Amino acid sequence: MNIGDTAPPFDLPATDGTAQGPGATPTAVVFTCNHCPYALAWHERLLDVARDYGGRGVHVLFVNSNDAERYPRDSFEAMRERVEAEGGWPAPYLHDESQEVARGFGAKTTPDVFVLDEDGVLRYRGAPDADHNDPSRGAAWLRGALDAVLEGRDPEPAQTEPTGCSVKWSQ
């Protein structure tokens, strides 16, 4: 999926028992997982984004597309256990068992961040910020993209290189 493309719609089961997907509001779709060190290193920063932008009409969706047969730590049950162990998340954690959503978006890594505007058009794709190892970066690229979309501007940068573990595709 390229910047300017319309994202494929989806509706995935969440660990809280609901089913969710992008709606008619700006949405950040974050492909992530339970065991990748890059996803874990960025995790708190991404939760902070969900907290900070939820009140501004932004929908943040965390999506786990990894093959749970080869990586049991990414099973739906393990996802539920993790959210519960962490006291709940400020955004839903969705299970993409068929991996169709990851394929449709062209997700490569965990994390891989996609920002859609209210029409479902891709406006930003890439990493949350420039350094997984530096919490002070604060997911600045993602925040900048959301600010731009909320203000009707084009994000700058609109695209960065996603950095992380490869999505674990079924074999």
Site of interaction with another protein (CB under 8 A): 35-38, 40-41, 43, 70-71, 73, 132-133, 135, 163-166
The secondary structure of residue 34, as a DSSP letter, is: S
Euclidean distance between CA atoms 148 and 158, whole angstroms: 10
- Tokens 């530096």 appear where? 134
Nearest residue to 105 (alpha-carbon basis) of 39, 40, 42, 28: 28
Place of tokens 């997911």: 139
- Cβ of residue 34: shortest distance to another protein, in angstroms? 10
Q: Which is nearer to another protein, 132 or 143 (CB)?
A: 132
Instruction: Find the shortest distance in angstroms from Cβ 46 to another protein.
Output: 13
* Structural tokens at position 170: 């079924």
Nearer of residues 36 and 94 to another protein, judged by Cβ: 36
Residue 71 or 76 having the CB closest to another protein: 71
State in angstroms the smallest separation of the CB of 128 from another protein.
14
3-state secondary structure of 51: helix
Contacts of 52 (CB under 8 A, 6+ apart): 143
Residue (37 or 57) nearer to another protein, CB: 37
CB of residue 131 to another protein, shortest distance in Å: 11
